[in-house]
Chains A and B, each alone.
Chain A
Amino acid sequence: MIVIGELINGMYKDVGKAIVNKEADVIQHLAVDQVKAGATVLDVNTGPYSKNQKDDMKWLIETIQGVVQVPLALDSTKADVIEEGLKLVTKRAIINSTNADDAKMQTIFTLAKKYNTQVIGLAMDKSGVPNSKDKRLELAATIVAKAIEFDIATDDLFLDPIVLPVNVAQTQGTEVLESIREFRLLCDPSPNTTIGLSNVSQGTKFRSLVNRTFLAMAIANGLTSAILDPLDKELMDAMITAELILNKAIYCDSFLEAYRKK
C-alpha cells in the first residue's frame, strides 16, 4: 500500500497556526512521525488560513524536505501553487488533484508532463460528486483517456472514487467499494486507486473504527493507496493485516513488526 500521510494540512488548527507563524519544528515533527509510522508519501496542503499559498507551499516543502526524503503529494486546488511546489521537490511528486473537467485536466496533466509527476484524479466534475458507481466509472474513464492523450502512464494515475461520510451518505459505501474494483479494470497497466479515508467517518462517533473497517474493505476491493492518518496505529495494523490476508506478504507471528521493518 502507498500510504499518503494526511496530517500536514493547514485545515488542522495547529498546523494552520504553525504555517502562519512559520513554526518549522511543528511541521517537521509531523513529517518525521508520519514517515516513522509508515507513510510512504506526505500530503502537503497549506489550508484555508494561508494568506499567501505559494509562499506557504514553498516553505512547507523546504521545511519537510529538511528532515525526510519521501515523495510529496502537493494538495491544492490552484495549479500555480502546485507548480511553485513542483519546482522544489526532490522526489517524484504526486499532484493532488485533478477532476474530470476538461480544462482542469488540461492544466494539471500539462504540469504532470512538464515535471514528470503522478496525479490523483477525482471521479467528480463541475456537477459535483456522482452518486452511482456507473457515473464514477464514466468520470474515471474520462480521466484515464485524457492521461493517455498526454502520454502519461496509466499506473501513474491514482483514481479516487470520492468517499462520503457514512452518516450522511450511507448508500455510497458500496458504490465506492465497487468503483475501486472496477477502476482497476479500466486500463492496462491498471491505474492506482486512492481514497481520502478520513472522510468516511466525518461526524461519526467512532471515527477510528469506521476508518479502519472501511480501509480493510477497500483494500479487499483492490485499493492501492490511501490518504490517511498514519499515526492511528490500529488503522495501520488493520491495513497491514488486510494486505496479509490478501497474500501480499508472507505470514509470520510478528507480521506487524515485519511490515514495519521494511
Chain B
Amino acid sequence: MAIEIVKEKYSSPINTVEIGSGAKCVKIGGETTLPFLFDEGDMPNAPVVALEMLDCEPVDWADSLKAAYGDAVKDPVKWAVKCVKEFGAKVLCVRLQSTHPDSGGKTAEQVIPILKSIVKEAGVPLVIVGGGDEEKDNDVLPKVSQALKGENCLFGIATQDNYKTLTATCLADGHSIIAESPIDINIAKQVNILISDMGFNPARIVMHPTTTSLGYGMEYVYSIMERGRLAAFIGDKMLAMPFVLFVGAEVWKTKEAKESAAAQGVNWELTTAIAMLQAGADLLIMRHPEAAKSAAKYIAIAMEEK
C-alpha cells in the first residue's frame, strides 16, 4: 500500500520585514512553512546572512577571527567596505561597541559620522545595535536613529524592561526594531505586545529569541523558535515576526571557537548557523567571513528545492 505523506498547511504567514532602502533593500520573513519544507508552504524570501562589525577595533576578538579581516579592523569604514566588496555581505550589522562606558564611552556625535560614511561607502542595509549598556544605549541610539532617518535600518535591542526609548525612536525615524526575550516564548510575545502598544507596526518587529552556541543549549532556542512559529502559523499575530540570531557574537565567546585553530571556530559558527536556519532563522548575524560564506551557500542549496 502506498504511504501518503502527511502535509501540514498553515493559514497565517510570518510578516515580511524590509531592511534598507532603494535597490539594495533586503526582505526577510514571509514564510508559510517551517524551514525549507517547500511541499507544505513557501519561503518567498531566502534567509539572509549579515556580517557583524564593530565601530572600533575589537579588543577581545579571537586572533583567528580578527585575522580574517586584517588591518581593516582598525578603521570601521574600511572594515565595512571589505565586508561588502570582498566578502559579499548583503547586510551589515554595526555594533556600537565604542559607546559602551567600558570601551571608551564615545558619544553619539562621535559615531554618527562613521555610520554615515559606512552608509555611503558600503551601500548596504544596516542593522545597528547598541553597545549593551542600557543607559548609554538610550542616549546614543535615538541620536543615531535620527541621523540615519530614511535609511530604514533595523535597530536593537529592545527588551521587556527597556523598550520605550528605542521604540519611540524607531517609530519617529521609520526604522524597524529588534525585540529580545531570554529564551522565553511568553516574554517574546509580551515584548511584541508592549512595543506594538506604543503604536509601532508589529510588521516591523524582528524577534531575537536569544542566541546560544552549539554546545551551550542551542536546542532550547530551537524549541522556542519552533513553538513560536507553529503558533504564528495558526494565527498568533503577536508571534508572526521574523527571527534574527546573533550567531557570530555567541559562538566567538566560546572557548571552543576562541582557543583553537581557526577552522574549528569557523565550523562552530557555521554549525550553529545551520541549526538556527533549520529552526526558522530569517537573519543571521555572523562574524567570520568564511563561516558566513558557507552559511550563504547552505541557504542557496536549501532554497534550490523550492
Contacts and interface: CB of A to CB of B under 8 A. Distances in A.
Interface of A: 249-254, 257-258, 261-262
A252 B237 contact: no
B186 interface: yes
Interface-central residue, A250, A253, A258, by most chain B CB under 10 Å? A250
Question: Chain A interface secondary structure, helix, strand, loop or mixed?
Answer: loop
Interface stretch (B2-10, B25-33, B187-195, B208-216): B187-195
Interface of B: 185-190, 193-194, 196-197, 227-228, 231, 235-239
B59 to A, nearest CB: 38
B72 to A, nearest CB: 43
Contacts of B190: 252-254
Contacts, number: 38
Given A250-B185, A250-B186, A254-B190, A262 B235 contact: yes
Main secondary structure, interface of B, reads helix
A258 B238 contact: yes
A261 B186 contact: no
Contacts of A249: 231, 236
Contacts of A258: 189, 193, 236, 238
A253 B189 CA distance: 9
B231 A253 contact: no
Q: Which 10 A-B pairs have the closest CB atoms?
A: A252-B189, A252-B190, A254-B193, A252-B186, A251-B186, A258-B238, A250-B231, A253-B190, A250-B185, A258-B193
Contacts of A252: 186-190, 193, 238
Contacts of A261: 193, 196, 237-238
19 contacts: A249-B236, A250-B186, A250-B189, A250-B231, A252-B186, A252-B187, A252-B189, A252-B238, A253-B190, A254-B193, A254-B197, A257-B193, A257-B197, A258-B189, A258-B238, A261-B196, A261-B237, A261-B238, A262-B237
B236 A250 contact: yes
Nearest to B12: A262
A253 B186 contact: yes
Contacts of A251: 186, 189
Given A250-B228, A252-B187, A258-B238, 17 more contacts: A249-B231, A250-B189, A250-B239, A251-B189, A252-B186, A252-B188, A252-B189, A252-B190, A252-B193, A254-B194, A257-B197, A258-B189, A258-B236, A261-B196, A262-B235, A262-B236, A262-B237
A51 B222 CA distance: 63
Nearest to B189: A252
A25 to B, nearest CB: 30
Contacts of A250: 185-186, 189, 227-228, 231, 236, 239
A14 B53 CA distance: 67
Contacts of A253: 186, 190
A252 B231 CA distance: 13
Nearest to A258: B238
A251 B194 CA distance: 14
